[in-house]
Amino acid sequence: MTDTGELTYRRVHDAPPELLFDCMTQPAHLTRFWGPTGMTTPLDGIVVDLRPGGAFETTMVNDRDGSSYTMRATYVEVSRPHRLVWIDPESHGGMRTTVTFSALGDGRTEVVTHQTNVPEAYRSAEAQAGFQTSLDRFAAYIEGGTS
């Protein structure tokens, strides 16, 4: 039996939920920030079929050695601009990622990323630190005006 758990990450951004949702679902945005520091996600390595049952795939390339890692998931719920859910079936029976976008009423939005059925390797301190750099890259992209 595989040991799985859950993780939750929270960030607040100075942007409306609609913009943040679009950044998380449009390849032209995703290519600018997707993945941890030291990785690049080329535009031609992103597939977004934004509907329940649709594919969400990203191929990240290591900037140092050129190795690549492809994440393949299926959207379960798409509710613009409030909620996005996908399942990565290759992660020990299906790691589920739920991203919620909650307007705070002052032009800011809280984004909560909640993952369940998370394999042990993804819960290591190193893996979590890498994921935090992905969130940092997203925040920097938003703060830079998404251009």
**pLDDT 10s digits, 107-139:** 999 999 999 999 888 888 888 888 899 999 999
In tens, the pLDDT along 55-98 reads: 999 999 999 999 999 999 999 999 999 999 999 987 767 899 99
Instruction: Let me know if residue 45 belongs to a domain.
Output: no
Range of the domain at 139: 4-35+77-143
Instruction: Let me know if residue 21 belongs to a domain.
Output: yes
CATH number (domain holding residue 98): 3.30.530.20
Phi, psi of 117 (to 5 degrees): 60, 40
Instruction: Let me know if residue 56 belongs to a domain.
Output: no
Instruction: Let me know if residue 84 belongs to a domain.
Output: yes
Give residue 47's identity as a one-letter amino acid code: V
- Give me the helices (H) in the chain, please: 17-25, 27-33, 125-143
What pLDDT does residue 1 have? 43
What pLDDT does residue 147 have? 62
Instruction: Let me know if residue 138 belongs to a domain.
Output: yes
Query: Looking at the predicted structure, is the pLDDT value of residue 38 above 60?
Result: yes
Question: Residue range 13-32: average pLDDT?
Answer: 97
Give this prediction's pTM: 0.91
What pLDDT does residue 53 have? 97
d(CA 23, CA 13): 12
d(CA 13, CA 16): 8
3-state DSSP helix/strand/coil % of the chain, to nearest 5: 30, 40, 30
Number of H helices, E strands in the chain: 3, 8
d(CA 29, CA 22): 8
What pLDDT does residue 98 have? 98
What pLDDT does residue 119 have? 87
Instruction: Let me know if residue 68 belongs to a domain.
Output: no
d(CA 48, CA 126): 28
Query: Looking at the predicted structure, is the pLDDT value of residue 25 above 90?
Result: yes
What pLDDT does residue 7 have? 93
